[in-house]
């Protein structure tokens, strides 16, 4: 178990929502033996506690013609890190930014419509970031396994 403070029922609700977040409260209740109202109350409480953050649709960029998905590893001067994060956060092509341990202090994911747009992103945005000591890019060829969120 990864999260303290979740009873078995909350764990079951979360596991079912991870499989399919479009399930209705009634369907969830039928699968775990609770009323629709009780399921809604538990989900509301999980959302209020910040355990469930959002419900979203995930688009696979490899299934869209020409889209390129890429990861960047950035090693930066510590004094410029927050500035770099701010610049990257404003860019719509950047989808994820993670602070990391090790040589690369930032792990950044981007999705662009084409190889040409990737080259433009690297040349005009990534290469011009202030205080970058090292920048490595990795183009994703195929999604083999991609689990979203925490598994209980």
Domain assignment of residue 103, yes or no: yes
Q: What is the CATH number of the domain that holds 35?
A: 1.10.10.10
pTM greater than 0.75 = no
Return the number of other C-beta atoms located less than 10 Å from residue 11's C-beta: 15
* CB-CB contact of 19 with 56 (8 Å): no
Question: 98-142 pLDDT, tens per residue?
Answer: 999 987 799 999 999 899 999 999 999 999 999 999 999 999 888
Length of the chain measured in residues: 152
**DSSP H or E run through 38:** helix 36-48
Q: How many domains does the chain have?
A: 2
Range of the domain at 13: 8-48
Q: How far apart are CA 146 and CA 93, in angstroms?
A: 20
Beta strands in 2-93 (DSSP E): 68-76
């Amino acid at each position: 178990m990864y999260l303290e403070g979740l009873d078995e029922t909350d764990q079951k609700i979360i596991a079912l929502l991870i499989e399919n977040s479009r399930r209705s409260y009634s369907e969830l209740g039928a699968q775990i033996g609770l009323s629709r109202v009780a399921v809604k109350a538990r989900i509301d409480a999980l959302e209020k506690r910040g355990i469930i953050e959002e419900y979203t649709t995930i688009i696979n960029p490899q299934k869209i013609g020409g889209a390129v998905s890429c990861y960047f590893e950035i090693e930066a001067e510590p004094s410029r890190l927050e500035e770099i994060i701010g610049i990257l956060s404003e860019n719509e092509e950047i989808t994820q930014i993670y602070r990391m341990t090790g040589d690369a202090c930032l792990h950044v994911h981007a999705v662009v419509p084409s190889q040409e747009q990737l080259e433009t992103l690297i040349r005009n945005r990534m290469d011009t970031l202030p205080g970058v000591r090292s920048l490595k890019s990795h183009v994703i060829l195929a999604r083999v396994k991609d689990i979203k969120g925490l598994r209980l």
